[in-house]
Amino acid sequence: MVVAVSGMDSLGERAAKMKEALQKSQTITDSVVSILGSFDSRLSVLETAMRPTQIRTHAIRKAHENIDKTLKAAEVILTQFDASRQAEAKILRGPHEDLESYLEAIDQLRSNIHFFSGNKGFKSSDAVLNNANSLLAKAISKLEDEV
């Protein structure tokens, strides 16, 4: 029976140690929960403070995208104006110097007419179309005079 009492004491000691370990674990858990709660609270405050900056950053990014799109569209239009100017110079020289180049200029002029006819929202598209159509008529007349 002495052995049984000794085993019970050992079991009681182990139970006491387990209870103590569980209490320490609970204390640590409570401490970690408190720390995490503090982090969560601080993060919420930081997120609230950052929100206006995020909104401004988004607005700036959107403006940058819009500016890029506008610049690309303007580049396309300016390329058309430049091609029209080059075609005009070739057409005004006449077909007698370089017939192939002259015909390419007429094709470019037609392409520009097509472009500006499809994009009538531009402020000066009507003026460009009138000029291009007039120039095309001159180009055809010069070709007829050559034949």
| The predicted structure's pLDDT at residue 49 | 93
Q: pLDDT tens digits, the chain, 147 residues: what are they?
A: 444 556 677 888 999 999 999 999 999 999 999 999 999 999 999 999 999 999 999 999 999 999 999 999 889 988 988 988 899 888 888 888 788 998 999 999 999 889 888 877 777 778 888 888 899 898 888 888 876
Q: How far apart are CA 80 and CA 115, in angstroms?
A: 8
Amino acid identity at 134:
S
| The predicted structure's pLDDT at residue 147 | 65
The position carrying tokens 């930081």 is 46
DSSP secondary structure letter of residue 97: T
Residue 140: left (phi > 0), alpha (psi -120 to 50), or beta?
alpha
pTM here is 0.58
